[in-house]
Amino acid sequence: MHLVDRVKQRDHKAYKELYDLYAKPMYNLCFRFLNHHDDANDVLQESFIKIFENIGQLNNKELLSAWIKRICTNTAIQALKQNKKLKFDELDDQPTMINLHDEDEIIHEEEYQQNLDLVYDAIQKLPDRYRVVFTMHVMEEYSHEEISKMLGIVSGTSRSQYLRAKQKLIEIIKKNKHHGRQIEKIYSAI
């Protein structure tokens, strides 16, 4: 019997199996949105309550992963909105300028693994509105139209926040790389 059917029949072992199967990746998703461990845990627990309460509405078992991801994403967004941490700048008349050469300079295929931690740390330092849109678009692969519907903003604002997030990431990474070189110079001079 499929795991979904067992959960629908209130099989307690199936609840645990489903939780164990999805808790870690969904915690990571929640953390990328909320940037705080306790908040991510709270949203994860709230999400699984919703999942268990509403699993009867899931008609296509093959969509289980996407359905769970959507519930966790929506619950994280609701938490951000309730805590008033998520405020978006409306489109302004000033175009956002991004130097694509800066992006190329930072991310090279052969240095990918070395830069991964640097990029992840930089994402965590982004303001909530940038981090959420960047996470949804790049990591969770939502379109700007989907993001705009989920966040209640226009798609142009989603695009703008995404571009600003990229620009801010580049600034943070360059600053961290520059700071790292300064420390290396100090140690080599000793």
Domain holding 182: CATH number?
1.10.10.10
53 and 113 assigned to the same domain: no
The C-alpha atoms of residue 154 and residue 6 are separated, in whole angstroms, by 41
Number of domains in the chain: 2
Which residue would you say has higher pLDDT here, 6 or 107? Answer: 6
Q: In terms of residue numbers, what domain contains 33?
A: 3-82
How confident is the model at residue 167, as a pLDDT?
92
141 and 171 in a single domain? The answer is: yes
Q: Report yes or no: 138 and 92 within 8 Å, Cβ to Cβ.
A: no
Instruction: Kindly state whether residue 164 falls inside one of the protein's structural domains.
Output: yes
Determine, yes or no, domain membership for 88: no
Structure tokens of 121?
Answer: 């740390």
- The model's pLDDT over 57-99, given as tens digits with 9 standing for 90+, comes to 998 989 999 999 999 999 999 998 887 665 655 544 444 554 5
- Asked if residue 139 and residue 77 are part of one domain, the reply reads no
Closest CA to 159 of 99, 107, 90, 103: 90
101 versus 63: which is more confidently predicted?
63
Q: Is residue 95 part of a domain?
A: no
Is 52 within a domain?
yes
pLDDT digits (tens, 9 = 90+) for 168-186: 998 988 887 766 554 444 3
At residue 107, φ and ψ (nearest 5 deg) are -110, 105
